[in-house]
Amino acid sequence: MSQLSKLQQAFQHHVLEPTDGGVPAWVRAGRRSTPEKQLFAYVHAYRARLQEVLENDFPAIAAALGEDNFEALAKAYINTHPSHNFSLRVFGGHMADFLAQQAAYQEQPWLSELAHFEWTLGQAFDAANAPLFSEQEMAAIPAEDWPGLRFTMHPSVQRLDCRWNAPGMWQALTADEPEEVDANEEETVPWLVWRQELVTRFRSLEREEQLALDALRSGASFDEVCDVLSTVMSEDAVPRHFASLLKGWISQGMISAIAD
């Protein structure tokens, strides 16, 4: 390794993971600044950029905590989970678990769930593009093929269960004119998040739709999903009801294709 490469590596390591060991000998004083100030400028700029990423990924958390408290959260998170990926899009992926595990935030358990909801929204928005299955293609499927059919969901389709009113809190806290909202613990509610064209959408699910969607996403065939639905509704009504659910998912851009 050349001397220049070693110097670059040392500089990068100091910026990414600064220590209290003083200023490295390879940093020289400039005409207008001390070595300490020169290094601090780079370290501060890098960490400020990471905090900005977290603010963009978790605007509701930032609004709920306030500027100073969110800055403290960001600093603690950056220290615990330094960025090791070339893409900053994945940097905040540990936030929900971090909030759940840190004693300072355990008295506000809704924060972790709100962070999980915000991260899921981002995952849906950033998901890869994929073809969309059409109602015309659905109508052209021969009746005898239906029992064994399996469908591929669009990559943006995400599922999560919320014990708190996280979606409602997110809407209130990220509105053009943010509103105060209380965190309310509820019975666990299944939620669906997906991207329709360029818009990220979410909605709660009734029990039947949640069961059918989860089964379909796990690779179940049409007949196998019908078996799941028959445990919570009349067996005679199941095929028509599931076909109606499929039609709705297709119209909302959630189905990509028939699985091979």
Q: Is the pLDDT of residue 89 over 60?
A: yes
Task: Quote the radius of gyration of the chain (alpha carbons, Å).
Answer: 24
Provide, rounded to the nearest whole percent, the portion of the chain with pLDDT above 90.
Answer: 77
Q: Which residue has the tokens 């269960």?
A: 161
- Structure confidence by residue, pLDDT tens digits, 90-128: 999 999 999 999 999 999 999 999 999 999 999 999 999
Residue 19: pLDDT band (50, 70, 90) is low
Provide, rounded to the nearest whole percent, the portion of the chain with pLDDT above 70.
Answer: 83
Q: Tell me the pairing of strands 158-164 and 151-153.
A: unpaired
Q: What pLDDT, on a 0 to 100 scale, did the predictor assign at position 46?
A: 82
DSSP string, 213-248: HHHHHTT--HHHHHHHHTTTS-GGGHHHHHHHHHHH
Q: Which residue has the higher pLDDT, 13 or 56?
A: 56
Please tell me the number of Cα atoms within 13 Å of 205 on its side-chain side: 24
Domains and CATH numbers, the chain: 1-108 (no CATH), 127-260 (3.90.930.50)
- Structure confidence by residue, pLDDT tens digits, 167-213: 999 999 999 998 888 999 989 999 999 999 999 999 999 999 999 99
- Structure confidence by residue, pLDDT tens digits, 67-82: 999 999 999 999 999 9
Q: What pLDDT, on a 0 to 100 scale, did the predictor assign at position 47?
A: 87
- Amino acid in position 19: T
Strand partners, 204: 191
